[in-house]
Structure 1
Amino acid sequence: MMPLRFLARSAPQAAVRLTHYSTRTSFRPVVQNLFRQPRIQATRAFSTSFACRDDISQELAAKLSKEIQLETEENDTVTQSESNIKDFISQNPHWEIIDNEGEQEIVLKRKYEDEDITVSFSVVDFNTPMMEGEEDDAYMDEEDEFEAAQSGGASMKGVVNQGRTSGGNFKVAPEDNVAPGDREEMRDAEDELDGQPAFPANVNLLIQRRGKGALRVNLIADNGIFTIQSVTHLPASISAKDSVDLLRDTPEMEKLYTGPPFQQLDEDVQSLFEQYLDARGINTALALFVPDYIDVKEQKEYTAWLSRVKEFVD
């Protein structure tokens, strides 16, 4: 009896084990095939994408090479600007120029009596377009200046006969009725300006005195003229920091009272403040130097940027 019971109990277990083994054996290739197939497809897709990306990289690198070639060719405007920069440096040796390659900020420093003077400006202004309203205002200002020269007694290059009437106005001779752009003298003046960079540049000025803090002045340099926007006094506790940091718009600087808009001050105060800055070298020469330097600096940085990007993608 025992052998039969043993066989009866053992047979189903053996069958189950055999069936289980057969199922695992037959299922394994199916599972393996299911996993192998996607891996092969994924590899093929990656290979195709890589080849496509490499072609685009080469095309981009070739295009950048052409841009570099174009930008490094002789440029009359930059050449004139470089000449102007050399003249300024030779005539103003008291200014130290701090210009780090790859950075967009330029810093000038000098000493004046017991004062440390720092000026900063950026190449960002080169690519900042003038707003449409500002262009219209600039055009109207030019027309007003010309009309003032004809009727108000102002001195202007291109006005041929400068005799005055009994009322103080200019005598306008027949030849003066010719449009200014048609006069040889005016054309020469326009030709001189054609090669000059013409864009307003934001300039930040810091004048520090030991124990008295500092004055931070925001200006705009445009066509050889500095226009004061605001004047902020920094307490002595702040002015001990690095001068360049004091010219940046940090949260600490933004908390300080910047004073009223400069144009709202008494006219005598405005005039004396302009003379105060002029004595410290914030004058026409510097106002002309700033856009020239931005012009040259931006060209060099742009060419270097093209080279670095090309090297990266090549």
Structure 2
Amino acid sequence: MSLHALRPVLRSALRPALRTLRASRVSIPRATAVRAFHVSRPAYGSGETDSELAAAIAAEIAYESEGASSSKPGFLQELEDEGVWSLSDTANSDDVVVSRKFGDETLKLTFQISDLDNPEAVESVDADGNVVEDPAYITSSLLVTKSGSKKALLIDLGASPDGFEVTNVAIYDKGLAEADGVEADWKRRSSYMGPQFDTLDSVVQDAFQAYLAERGIDAALSNFIVSYSEYKEQKDYVGWLSDVKEFVNA
């Protein structure tokens, strides 16, 4: 596994250990105070542990922000400079969308950053017979529509530092493919979704891969998705810490 692919896994694995280590350095054993029943309760929203929680969160914010740059990361600046894909991202939202036009087609690729917090190790065997652990994929869904068709393609992919892996290609009525919500998702799942991609004839698989690559669904975009997911996850985590701290201190 490449160092780039290990970054999100190592960060998720090390973060709890570093917090524990940091806490063990500063904690001082003390006797637990016993509150008498006749002592009045503190005002609502001003509990005895509030300051301790706020201080712990402040320390975590300082740790996570250490060495962080306020400038736009290079991979994001490069995407904007190329002017092919447009990025749509809402703070604290799991979904991120990149979209573009290709002739009379509109391509909308949605990916979920929560996959970074729940990496599923996948084991495979290399050419020498050694068991290796592959990086978890970032779940992605590509919607392809065109002005001259009432249908739309909905393609499930996994993004990794090594590129995209296509898992399924479905075709729906355009309205159903574009619809959001649980009901629309249930209707899509109740429709025929096509065969598993890896069961298709190899010639058809290769033709699909070429079709996607021509539209920019390639290793460069997959790498961007991995990098941006790491960047956004970190940014949203620090924002979450700040919001919780502000609430506790209010």
Q: Residues of 1 paired with 2:191 and 2:182: CA distance?
A: 13
Q: Structure 1 residue 278 and structure 2 residue 213: aligned? A: yes
2:50 corresponding residue in structure 1: 57
Secondary structure at the counterpart of residue 55 of structure 1: coil
Secondary structure at the counterpart of residue 215 of structure 1: strand
Secondary structure at the counterpart of residue 270 of structure 1: helix
1:233 corresponding residue in structure 2: 171
Q: In the alignment, is the contact (CA less than 8 A) between 2:116 and 2:230 conserved in 1?
A: yes
Q: In the alignment, is the contact (CA less than 8 A) between 1:220 and 1:226 conserved in 2?
A: yes
Deviation at 1:53, TM superposition (A): 6.4
1:161 corresponding residue in structure 2: none
User: What count of residue pairs does the alignment treat as equivalent?
Assistant: 209
Deviation at 1:249, TM superposition (A): 7.2
Q: Structure 1 residue 294 and structure 2 residue 229: aligned? A: yes
Q: Deviations over 1:127-157 (max 9, x none)?
A: 01223xx1x31xx237469xxxxxxxxxxxx
Q: In the alignment, is the contact (CA less than 8 A) between 1:213 and 1:238 conserved in 2?
A: no
Deviation at 1:49, TM superposition (A): 6.3
Paired AA for residue 266 in structure 1: D
2:145 aligned to which of 199, 208, 213:
208
Identity rate, percent: 29
Paired AA for residue 56 in structure 2: K
Q: Residues of 2 paired with 1:246 and 1:111: CA distance?
A: 25
Change in 2 beyond 3 A, CA 1:51/1:251: closer
Q: Structure 1 residue 126 and structure 2 residue 116: aligned? A: yes
Q: In the alignment, is the contact (CA less than 8 A) between 1:224 and 1:285 conserved in 2?
A: no
Q: Deviations over 1:190-225 (max 9, x none)?
A: xxxxxxxx6421111000123331000000112231
Q: In the alignment, is the contact (CA less than 8 A) between 2:161 and 2:222 conserved in 1?
A: yes
Structure 2: which 5+ residue stretches go unaligned? Answer: 1-36
Q: Over aligned residue pairs, what C-alpha RMSD do you find?
A: 3.0
Higher percent of residues as helix: 1
2:126 corresponding residue in structure 1: 141
Structure 1: which 5+ residue stretches go unaligned? Answer: 1-42, 146-197
* Runs of 4 or more above 6 Å deviation: 246-249
Change in 2 beyond 3 A, CA 1:275/1:249: farther
1:84 aligned to which of 49, 72, 75:
75
Deviation at 1:257, TM superposition (A): 1.3
Q: Which of the two has higher C-alpha Rg?
A: 1
Q: Deviations over 1:99-139 (max 9, x none)?
A: 112212100111111111100011101101223xx1x31xx
Paired AA for residue 228 in structure 2: Y
Alignment of 1:3-82 (within 5 A): 44=38, 47-48=40-41, 54-74=47-67, 82=73
Q: Residues of 2 paired with 1:248 and 1:105: CA distance?
A: 19
Q: In the alignment, is the contact (CA less than 8 A) between 1:82 and 1:292 conserved in 2?
A: no
Q: Deviations over 1:61-100 (max 9, x none)?
A: 1100000111111159x99x92223223323x12110011
Change in 2 beyond 3 A, CA 1:67/1:143: farther
TM-score by length of 1: 0.60
Alignment of 1:303-314 (within 5 A): 303-314=238-249
Change in 2 beyond 3 A, CA 1:249/1:70: farther
TM-score by length of 2: 0.74
Q: In the alignment, is the contact (CA less than 8 A) between 2:143 and 2:152 conserved in 1?
A: yes
Higher percent of residues as strand: 2
Q: Deviations over 1:146-194 (max 9, x none)?
A: xxxxxxxxxxxxxxxxxxxxxxxxxxxxxxxxxxxxxxxxxxxxxxxxx
Alignment of 1:77-226 (within 5 A): 82-91=73-82, 93-131=83-121, 134=122, 136-137=123-124, 140-141=125-126, 143=128, 199-210=136-147, 211-226=149-164
